[in-house]
Amino acid sequence: MPWLEHTPGVFQREIGENEKFIKTIGDRGHAAGREHWSITSKAKLKLPKDLKIEDLIQSLRSAWQALRFQHPSIASTATSETLQYTVPDESALKFWTKETLWIHHEQVSADELVATLQPSRYVCAHYLVNSQEILLHFAHWRTDGYGALQLINAFAEQLSYALDGGLGNMTWGDEARRLAPNIEEVLNIPVEPTPEIQEATDRCLATLVHLHGAVGVALQTAVTAPPGGTRSSGLRFTEATTAAIEKACAAHGISVLAAVHASCAAVTWANAARYSKNKHYTSTMRFSLRPHLPNPYNTDSFAAALYTGGYMAKVPASQSWIENAKGYFNEYQHGITPGFLQARRQYAIEVQKRLTAGAPPPSPPPSEIDISGADEVESMVKAVRPLRDGQALEVVDVGVGVETLTRQMYCFVWTFRKRLELSLVYNEAYYSAGYADGIVRALQEVLLHRLGLGEELVGNGN
């Protein structure tokens, strides 16, 4: 169902099936004041010299409002069945800005802030004055990793305009034309599945069985321990090491993402309990659907939308690292088929039924190192934006991650400014910072060793 004007200035549409099942997963953490799989994207900035803090804050406010004008879905609200967007008057716009844009003057790191974030009815932005970082925090049903990075880029773009005094007037009400439709509407998927769609759905659903009996890292805490905040441990390779990794992967006929994926499997087995080391490894094959959508939905104009999909894949403990890497590469290359795309509605419906059936949680709880990668970040996020006075607004670094309330860890992989980055997100109630740092170092060691690269090619945290 498309967006329709319910009353003057108030637009509504039904929540799509994919949005609904992701929202169900996220909402389960609300009782604890958290939201599973909420997304945080961030950018570290280099600001023009001699910029006064009061001018910066005003520019941030103007840019944030302009981002809403370009991507109004960030200000939509949700019930269990409906999304709603209300065109703001001046008073409502000021109130929304105050509620959603947070300026942090205190000494707080991005990692510390993420661990404290709570669910919000809107997308929220945070600016850390001391580190010059922007963070955007989303419920996952609103967007995916690619969209989150596109929105960080769009925010930086609007900020550059604001710093240059060039935002201009915004005719509120016009923005409603840019409200994002759900993936089912974009792909024109029929409400009632055809036999072909049901068959494709069943193939995706069949992969869920791979979750049973899969290997995980050895539990570090009692099974009954409640979750804490989400933390991260990261590693950034040098340009030279990144180039060497890319060259070695090409020589093996694999992608960097496939190589890191195989490394996640290897490190999971290495950190498993002794009695679990022969179990198969299961992880998620995650795909951005954006390149496969019709124009304009394949552009960053619809960053504030959930256009992603996936299924589970398993590899046996008996396979070698290179066999796994080549298998993952093949999955990433060929996993998105016409049937996979058309199954998005029915698959979400079937998963939603399972989520609401009240099945007991698995025992032991899953604890594998899962993975999520973002290609083309170099082209999604512009590094330098010249300003009129000869200076520039620069994006020094970017990042993306999800909140996790389980013992599963997620390795995020991307390359920006010619440097490969790994970021492991984990829950602080289940793993210590030292343990997570060790996992990241192990991923680095496996990756370099299996690609035949020297030990002198290492990453760093800078």
Task: Tell me the percentage of the chain whose pLDDT exceeds 90.
Answer: 93
Residue 9 has φ and ψ, to the nearest 5°, of 85, 0
Residues 158 and 216 in one domain: no
Q: What is the CATH number of the domain that holds 53?
A: 3.30.559.10
Q: Which residue has the tokens 């058309």?
A: 342
In whole angstroms, give the CA distance from residue 349 to residue 365: 24
Task: Yes or no: say if 32 and 362 are a contact pair by the CB < 8 Å rule.
Answer: no
Distance CA 147, CA 41 (A): 9
Determine, yes or no, domain membership for 35.
Answer: yes
Residues 285 and 222 in one domain: yes
My answer on whether 445 and 311 are in the same domain is yes
| Residue 400 domain-assigned (yes or no) | no
CATH code for the domain in which residue 422 is found: 3.30.559.30
Average pLDDT value for the chain: 96
Residue 375 confidence (pLDDT): 82
- Residues 111-134 have a mean pLDDT of 97
Domain end point (choices 178, 210, 242): 178
226: in domain: yes
Range from 114-123, 176-185, 373-382 carrying the lowest mean pLDDT = 373-382
Give 148's contacts (C-beta < 8 A, 6+ positions apart): 39, 40, 41, 136, 138, 303, 400
Q: Which residues pair with 397 in a beta bridge?
A: 44
Query: Is there a single domain that holds both residue 288 and residue 437?
Result: yes
Using one digit for the tens of pLDDT, what is the confidence trace for 11-65? 999 999 999 999 999 999 999 899 999 999 999 999 999 999 999 999 999 999 9
Could you write out the three-class secondary structure of the chain?
CCCEEEECCEEEEECCHHHHHHHHHHHCCHHHCCCCCCEEEEEEEECCCCCCHHHHHHHHHHHHHHHHHHCHHHHCEECCCEEEEECCCHHHHHHHHHHHEEEECCCCCHHHHHCCCCCCCCCEEEEECCCCEEEEEECHHHCCHHHHHHHHHHHHHHHHHHHCCCCCCCCCCHHHHHCCCCHHHHCCCCCCCCHHHHHHHHHHHHHHHHHCCCCCECCCCCCCCCCCCEEEEEEEECHHHHHHHHHHHHHHCCCHHHHHHHHHHHHHHHCECHHHCCCCEEEEEEEECHHHCCCCCCCHHHCCCCCEEEEEEEECCCCCHHHHHHHHHHHHHHCCCHHHHHCHHHHHHHHHHHHCCCCCCCCCCCCCEEEEECCCHHHHCCCEEECCCCCEEEEEEEEEEECCCCCCEEEEEEEECCEEEEEEEEECCCCCHHHHHHHHHHHHHHHHHHCCCCCCCCEECC
223 and 151, same domain (yes or no): no
Is 398 within the bounds of a domain?
no
Which residues on adjacent β-strands are paired with residue 416?
419
- Domain-located, residue 220: yes
Q: Which of 178, 211, 238 is the last residue of a domain?
A: 178
Specify whether 74 is located in the same domain as 215. Answer: no
Q: Kindly state the average pLDDT of the residues 131-137.
A: 98
How many folded domains does the chain comprise?
2
Q: In terms of domains, do 363 and 425 share one?
A: yes
Same domain, 191 and 321: yes
Q: Note the pLDDT tens digit of each residue in 407-430.
A: 999 999 999 999 999 999 999 999
The boundaries of the domain holding residue 376 are 183-380+407-460
Residue 388, domain member (yes or no): no
Same domain, 326 and 454: yes
- Biggest CA pair distance of the chain: 65
158 lies in the same domain as 197: no
Provide the pLDDT for residue 322. Answer: 98
| Within a domain: 296 | yes
Residues 158, 297, single domain; the answer is: no
- The number of residues making up the chain comes to 462
Is 392 part of a structural domain of the chain? no
**Segment among 257-266, 294-303, 358-367 with least mean pLDDT:** 358-367
Domain boundary among 178, 206, 229: 178
Q: pLDDT band for position 458 (50/70/90)? A: low
Where residue 167 falls among pLDDT bands split at 50, 70, 90? confident
The predicted structure's pLDDT at residue 461: 47
What is the distance between the terminal CA atoms of the chain, rounded to a whole angstrom? 47
Instruction: Count other C-beta atoms under 10 Å from residue 340's C-beta.
Output: 21
CA distance 240 to 462: 15
Q: Is the peptide bond preceding residue 364 cis, with omega within 30 degrees of 0? A: yes
pLDDT > 80? residue 153: yes
Residues 328 and 277 in one domain: yes
